[in-house]
Structure 1
Amino acid sequence: MKPIHILLSLSLAVATWACSSKADKAPANQATQSADDVVIPIKLTPVSSVVRAEPVIASGLVSSAQEARLSFKIGGIIDRMFVEEGQSVRKGQLLATLDLTEINAQVSQAQLANEKAERDLSRVKSLYADTAATLEQLQNATTGTSVAKQNLTIAQFNRNYAQIRSTVDGTVTRKVANAGEFVAPGASIYLISSNRRSDWVVRVGVSDKDWARLRLGNRASISLDAYPGKTFNGTVTELAQAADPVNKLYEVEVRIDPGTARFAPGLFAKVTLFPAQSGTYTVVPVEAIVEGNGKEGFVYVLENVGAKPLHVRKQPIQIGYLDGDKVLVTNGLAGIKDVVTAGSAFLTEESTVIVK
């Protein structure tokens, strides 16, 4: 009897284990099957077209269109300086002078040399009249007199420019030297910026592609860090005809209307230029872009519209530029009416979707 009881107990144990194993495997298989059948809800947004000029964005510093770097024509010791940085000056106002000791001596030498040349010429003329001097001697004396006069003119001219006078109505933005210093000819002593309200400009550098789209008179929008939240109007007034040899960019000058604001040289400005040349763009919401790298990106669109089940595919696009919460696309959406917006972050090309 005992062996029979043992066999029955073993059979019952095996049956119980088998049932439990089936019960354990069933939920796993069901979970796997459910995971494979996940349907992701998505939202489609229609694409649209717009004709617009792509703006050119650059940055630069505010400066005056009328700037003067003032210097002495000749070298020497600075005698006096009459204005300091930040002072307002008038056109023609005396700003600095050199010590004239050496310069006056040079003028005196030129005067004496001129007087001697005139005496020599008078003497040779008398001798030539008496046939005691040759024609060559008369010509040489005449030439010597002319040279002496020109040397006197040069000395007097240099003395007149041994001083600095302002060439514009403006403000002294920089003073480089002080009284008592020796300065070389042409070395900058003062930097003067015009303070007329119509003279404020921003100079920015743009690429050759952007330069080709710009024209004189194009509109510009300028924002300054000094006046957050405020936008100033501007106009393109100058386009460089050659690239900067260092950064290879073309300089564009934009004249600003300051309105009631107070400007100063050196204010940092962000400039948006609006070329007159426009193009046609396809517009999609920014949330439709799932990947982006510079001008390249991707969106999801429906694959085989009307088929069951629905699937999506990844569509490469060329991005023109961002306009708020919209993306202006230059290429890649020809013939496509809708793009996926909501739900696109969870998609792959194998996903099954349903449009909500």
Structure 2
Amino acid sequence: MKQYSFIITLFLLAACGKQEEKKADNAMGDETVVPVKLEKVAQTVRSESITASGLVASSEEAKLSFKIGGIIQKIFVEEGQKVRKGQVLASLNMTEIDAQVSQAKFGVEKAERDFKRVENMLKDTAATLEQMQNATTGFDVAKQSLQIAQFNRSYAQITSPIDGAVIKKMANEGELTGPGTPIFYITSNRQSDWVVRVGVSDKDWARLKVGDKANVSLDAYPSETFTGTVTKLAPAADPMNKLYEIEVRINPNGQRFASGLFAKVELKPVQNRNYIMVPIEAIIEGNGQDAFVYVLDESRKKVKRLPIRIGFVDGDKVLVTNGLEGITEVVTSGSAFLTESSNVIIK
């Protein structure tokens, strides 16, 4: 038993010795001084383009529906068919609708008879003023009901509000439809009406204005670049993705466009943007537009790592949009050997 105790004691002493050596090594490592070079950052102003993607659509488009419900009697067009403004596209079965109009007419006739009867009785003092008022109100209500029924009958048809084409037909003959239920989706077929709608961030939205130019590339025409112009800026962000919608009107250059074509848009705002410019050697751990740089702390004997946002790269310079506010110098040479606990000396 004593022999086992002696072995355990030796093991613990050896372990403690190794831990002390490790602490000593770490202490020596912490005291290592890394020589670094610094370079001052520079302010610059550039007109950076904004890239986004979206789908081609018509600036004039509509979802058409019946104002009233009923059975669809006839559909006169098919998907892809061209239509003219005012053309009848579909109609409802008129049996019930005509019956409602007839019923309203009978109601007007009865209310008019009641009104005249009470009016004559009032002249003979056989009716009260209240009875006359009730008859007048009933007559007015009946006439209004007839107007509503006739108005609804006029909306038992769907007519095209524009010259265009039927992109989608969402119902068939014989189906029961409700008021406001979309039946057709139509778009304009004029060449000047094609647009791309894209989403941009709030900072990019602030740099854009109506009239700014754009280059548009379509997967359908990979060898061509189309020109465009910003025509609309959304006044509020989309509540789902928090982006602001920008509408760009495209010049098709004689090519055939269709709704839904995928487009990449390069927006060219006239308004410039301020950047902080640093050498490309200062960038570490870059991942897309996110990266880090090292700067000296207040003691100028240690460093700290700052996250930055890259706008774009221009030769051997990186233009930074966020992260270096108030910073005058960044570490260039020696940054690959640094951690935030490193001691440094300026070469």
Which category of TM-score, normalised to the shorter sequence, fits these structures? 0.7 to 0.9
CA distance in 2, matches of 1:107, 1:248: 49
Pairing 1:75–2:69 present: yes
Q: How far does residue 296 in structure 1 lie from its aligned partner after superposition?
A: 2.5
Counterpart among 312, 334, 337 of residue 322 in structure 1: 312
Pairing 1:126–2:120 present: yes
Q: How far does residue 295 in structure 1 lie from its aligned partner after superposition?
A: 3.6
Q: Secondary structure at the match of 2:222?
A: coil
CA distance in 2, matches of 1:142, 1:119: 11
CA distance in 2, matches of 1:227, 1:287: 39
Paired position in structure 1 for 2:173: 179
- Measured at CA, do residues 316 and 156 of structure 1 come closer, stay the same or move farther in structure 2, by a change above 3 Å? closer
Paired position in structure 2 for 1:23: none
Q: How far does residue 65 in structure 1 lie from its aligned partner after superposition?
A: 0.9
Q: Secondary structure at the match of 2:147?
A: helix
Unaligned 5+ runs, structure 2? 1-40, 295-304, 339-347
| Cα root mean square deviation, aligned | 3.1
Pairing 1:60–2:70 present: no
CA distance in 2, matches of 1:278, 1:287: 26
Range that drifts further, 58-67 or 243-252? 243-252
Deviations 1:293-321 (A, max 9, x none): 3342569xxxxxxxxxxxxxxx9895643
Q: Is the 8 A contact 2:280 2:318 kept in 1?
A: no
- Regions of 4+ moved over 3 Å: 47-51, 279-291, 315-328, 330-336
Q: How far does residue 109 in structure 1 lie from its aligned partner after superposition?
A: 0.2
Q: Is the 8 A contact 1:127 1:133 kept in 2?
A: yes
Q: Secondary structure at the match of 2:252?
A: coil
Counterpart among 159, 162, 167 of residue 161 in structure 2: 167
Paired position in structure 2 for 1:215: 209
Deviations 1:112-148 (A, max 9, x none): 0001111111111111111111111111111111100
Paired position in structure 1 for 2:291: 296
Counterpart among 247, 250, 273 of residue 253 in structure 1: 247
Counterpart of 2:312, as a letter, is L
Deviations 1:70-123 (A, max 9, x none): 001111110000000000000000000000011110000000000111111111
Range that drifts further, 144-153 or 240-249? 240-249
Q: How far does residue 174 in structure 1 lie from its aligned partner after superposition?
A: 0.3
Paired position in structure 2 for 1:139: 133
Q: Secondary structure at the match of 1:230?
A: strand
Q: How far does residue 263 in structure 1 lie from its aligned partner after superposition?
A: 0.7
Range that drifts further, 173-182 or 199-208? 199-208
Counterpart among 83, 98, 107 of residue 104 in structure 1: 98
Q: Is the 8 A contact 2:215 2:265 kept in 1?
A: yes
CA distance in 1, matches of 2:225, 2:280: 25
TM-score of the superposed pair, with normalisation by structure 1: 0.71
CA distance in 1, matches of 2:93, 2:126: 48
- Measured at CA, do residues 323 and 129 of structure 1 come closer, stay the same or move farther in structure 2, by a change above 3 Å? same
Counterpart of 2:319, as a letter, is V
Q: How far does residue 240 in structure 1 lie from its aligned partner after superposition?
A: 1.4
Identity over the aligned pairs, expressed in percent?
59
Q: How far does residue 194 in structure 1 lie from its aligned partner after superposition?
A: 0.7
Q: Is the 8 A contact 2:238 2:244 kept in 1?
A: yes
CA distance in 1, matches of 2:227, 2:314: 20
TM-score of the superposed pair, with normalisation by structure 2: 0.73
Paired position in structure 1 for 2:194: 200
Equivalent pairs counted in the alignment come to: 284
CA distance in 2, matches of 1:172, 1:165: 12
Q: How far does residue 291 in structure 1 lie from its aligned partner after superposition?
A: 4.9
Q: Secondary structure at the match of 1:260?
A: coil
Q: Is the 8 A contact 1:56 1:274 kept in 2?
A: yes
Counterpart of 2:170, as a letter, is V
CA distance in 1, matches of 2:81, 2:144: 39
Q: Is the 8 A contact 1:281 1:328 kept in 2?
A: no
Paired position in structure 1 for 2:26: none
